[in-house]
Amino acid sequence: MANESMRFVVLRHETAEGTHWDLMLERGTALATWRLAAAPSRDATDPIAAVRIGEHRREYLEYEGPVSGNRGTVTRYDAGLYRAIRIAETEWELEFDGQHLSGRYGLSVNGLDDPSGWTLRRL
């Protein structure tokens, strides 16, 4: 699975608390998901704070609209294919082919005290 291209989506998620972006990566039967503090882009030079959240259903690869439980609305910001260069427990290196998210990026855990706190950065 390390060199196989899989699908990804970035959803703009608007809630009563504000806006964030959900990065979802196809991984088997589910989507590995991170909540991003800012929209990722191919021009990004600053790291983006990310929080690893629970896996989501694959239907979100194609879904736009209201989220159940009055948890806001999602719209597609970007989608395409990605390739996993390296995946470890605390660090992922990925290559994206999307309109906004394009090129090599790293996702890494900020520290062992909070395994849900990650950072997305362009490599």
Domain ranges of the chain: 5-122
pLDDT value, residue 31? 98
Q: Give the contacts of 14 (CB within 8 A, at least 6 positions apart).
A: 72, 73, 74, 75
Q: Give the contacts of 101 (CB within 8 A, at least 6 positions apart).
A: 8, 10, 23, 40, 41, 42, 78, 80
Distance between CA 48 and CA 81 in Å, rounded?
A: 20
User: Strand, helix or coil at 77?
Assistant: strand
Q: Do 11 and 22 contact (CB within 8 A), yes or no? A: yes
Would the pTM of this model clear 0.75, i.e. be above it?
yes
User: Strand, helix or coil at 79?
Assistant: strand
pLDDT value, residue 113? 72
Tell me, rounded to whole angstroms, the distance of Cα 48 from its chain centroid: 11
pLDDT value, residue 3? 67
pLDDT value, residue 111? 77
pLDDT value, residue 1? 45
pLDDT value, residue 43? 79
Q: Do 96 and 17 contact (CB within 8 A), yes or no? A: no
pLDDT value, residue 82? 98
For residue 30, what are its two tokens?
């589910």
Q: What is the pLDDT along the chain (123 residues), one digit of tens a residue?
A: 456 899 999 999 999 999 999 999 999 999 999 999 999 988 777 899 999 998 999 999 999 999 988 899 999 999 999 999 999 989 999 999 999 999 999 999 997 677 789 999 999
